[in-house]
Structure 1
Amino acid sequence: KLSKAAYSVLHDAATERPFTSELLQEKRAGSYCCAACGTKLFESKTKFNSGTGWPSFYDKLPGVELETGNYMDMLAMRTEVHCVKCGGHLGHVFDDGIIWEVPTGKRYCINGVALNFVAAA
C-alpha cells in the first residue's frame, strides 16, 4: 500500500518537497527499489549527496527506464525516469554529474517516496 505522497509521485508524476525524504540520510549498503512493485532500481554504492534535496544516484540498474520525446523535459534539459516494470514515475536524470565528479556524469534525481530501501544482508 502506497502513501498518498508516493501514489501522487508514482502515478501522477508529482514531485515531493525537497529535503523531506528520510532516504537522504541513508548511508547503509543496500538497494533502492520501486515503492510500487519492488523492482531494484539503484544500488547504494552509486548514491551521492548532490545537495539538491532529493536522493541522487550516478548510475541505474536495468529496472530504470528513460522516457524520450517529452518536449517539456527537453526544454528543462532533463529526462524523466520510470520503473520499467510498473511504469511508475521516479524522477529525472540530468547530465550535470560533472559538477560532483561522478563517474557517469549523470545525476538521477529521484523522489524518495518512490523508493524503498532494502539493506544488504
Structure 2
Amino acid sequence: MTDRSASGFDLTPPSPTQLATLEHGLTDEEKRVLLNHGTEAPFCGTLLEEKRAGAFCCRLCGLPLFKSVEKFESGTGWPSFTAPYDPDHLKLVRDTSYGMVRVETRCARCDSHQGHVFPDGPPPSGERYCINSVALTFTPEGEALPDPLDRGDGLASAAI
C-alpha cells in the first residue's frame, strides 16, 4: 500500500537503494543544501528569475512542491512562494539553528531540506516559503513531471 497526497502523488519514501542512487547524482552544492540543511547564497540561484508557468519539483525525488502561480518576488534573494503545490508535499519542522526559531520546509517524500517558511508573505496566505533554487527543478506547463523514482504509477508522467 502506498501513502498518497490529497492530489494523488505517491509519498512513499525512497528505499535506501533508491535514495543512494538519487544522492549519487547530486552536485556538492546540492548535497550541502538538500542533505545537510545548507543555504545557497542569495541572488545567485538559477530559479530566482523563473517566470514561466509550471511546477517547481524536489531536486532529489521529483515530487512537485510549488506551482508557478504561487511564486512572487520577495526581494530576499531566494525563490519565494505563497503556498505549496499540495500541503501534503511538505514536512514542516521546527528549526532552532543559528540562535533563531524558524520553520524548516522539507520534502515530504524524501525528507530533503528545501528552505524555510515565514509568516511575512503577501495575502491571502501571509506565508513566504523561502526556498533554495538548488533544491528544486522546474518543469514547464505541458511537460511531464520528473519521475526519478520510476515507480510506474503514471502519476509523475502526467503533464501539469
Q: TM-score by structure 1 length?
A: 0.90
Deviations 1:3-31 (A, max 9, x none): 21111100000100000112111000000
Aligned mates of 1:88, 1:43 — CA distance in 2: 18
Q: How does 1:106-117 map to 2 (within 5 A)?
A: 106-117=127-138
| 3-state SS of paired residue (2:35) | helix
| Larger RCO (alpha carbons 8 Å, 6+ apart) | 1
Runs of 4+ displaced beyond 6 Å:
none
CA drift of 1:78 comes to: 2.2
Structure 1 unaligned segments of length 5 or more: list them.
Answer: none
Q: Identity, % of aligned pairs?
A: 47
Greater fraction of residues in helix: 1
Structure ID, larger Rg: 2
Alignment length (residue pairs): 116
Match of residue 23 from structure 1: 47
> Paired residue for 2:33, among 9, 13, 17?
9
Match of residue 78 from structure 2: 54
Structure 2 unaligned segments of length 5 or more: list them.
Answer: 1-24, 143-160
CA drift of 1:67 comes to: 0.7
Contact 2:96–2:102 under 8 Å retained in 1: no
Residue 104, structure 1, aligned to residue 125, structure 2: yes
Q: TM-score by structure 2 length?
A: 0.69
